Amino acid sequence: MQRLAVYCGSRSGHAAEHLQSATALGTAMARRGVGLVYGAARIGLMGALADAVLAADGEVIGVIPDALMDAEVAHHRLTRLEVVADMHIRKARMMELADAMVALPGGLGTLEELFEALTWLQLRFHHKPCALLNVAGYYNGLLQFLDGAVADGFVAAEHRALLKVHQDPELLLDALYSPP
């Protein structure tokens, strides 16, 4: 794996564990030579993640729609910043650049990006792994919902199994990437 697309909040959340795991994931990625593709913000979990990768001399590619350059406070110390026309192009470009997709804690945008990537995997539009970093149980309710959707017959068990889940950044990377 050369690059990992990470979807996460442009806010930090209230729990210190969220920032700690974003930093830990970024450091672990850079140490393993895995580059980051993300939404290009310098604030919140997004900024902490990018700063951790950069501090460990890793590659960081930010992809941001032109309309959000100011609103998301774009990070300008990245390896590469790509400004695109809109959110649809942003998501497609992030998936194109990455070998796998991971969601850390975040809000509606994070969920939307994760579920699009997971849906595209289910439909075989790509074959890249999708995962959640379930920091401090943040995604427990969502995982319970998905298990209920399987039980109710709306999601096939094999499609639910496409979403890898780990609580530890190192274990998550181990599941997605093992060096040769």
pLDDT digits (tens, 9 = 90+) for 57-95: 999 999 999 988 877 689 999 999 999 999 999 999 999
Residue-level pLDDT at 69 = 82
Instruction: Tell me the sheet residues that pair with 180.
Output: none
CA angle 107, 124, 89 (to 5 degrees): 50
For the chain, first and last CA: distance in Å?
A: 10
Q: Which of 117, 121, 112, 49 is nearest to 78 (CA)?
A: 49
Residues contacting 59, CB < 8 A, separation 6+ = 3, 35, 36, 53, 79
Measure CA 175 to chain center: 15
Question: Mean pLDDT throughout 31-58?
Answer: 97
Mean of pLDDT over the chain: 95
Under the banding of pLDDT at 50, 70 and 90, the label for residue 180 is very low
What count of Cα atoms within 13 Å lies in the side-chain half-sphere of residue 103?
25
Instruction: Report yes or no: 25 and 168 within 8 Å, Cβ to Cβ.
Output: no
Q: Does 6 or 1 have the greater pLDDT score? A: 6
Under the banding of pLDDT at 50, 70 and 90, the label for residue 178 is low
Question: Mean pLDDT throughout 162-177?
Answer: 94
75, amino acid identity: H
Measure CA 94 to chain center: 10
Residue-level pLDDT at 71 = 73
Question: Mean pLDDT throughout 22-41?
Answer: 97
Question: Mean pLDDT throughout 146-174?
Answer: 97
Structure tokens at 180: 């040769």
Number of other residues whose CB lies within 10 A of the CB of residue 13: 20
Question: Mean pLDDT throughout 17-28?
Answer: 97
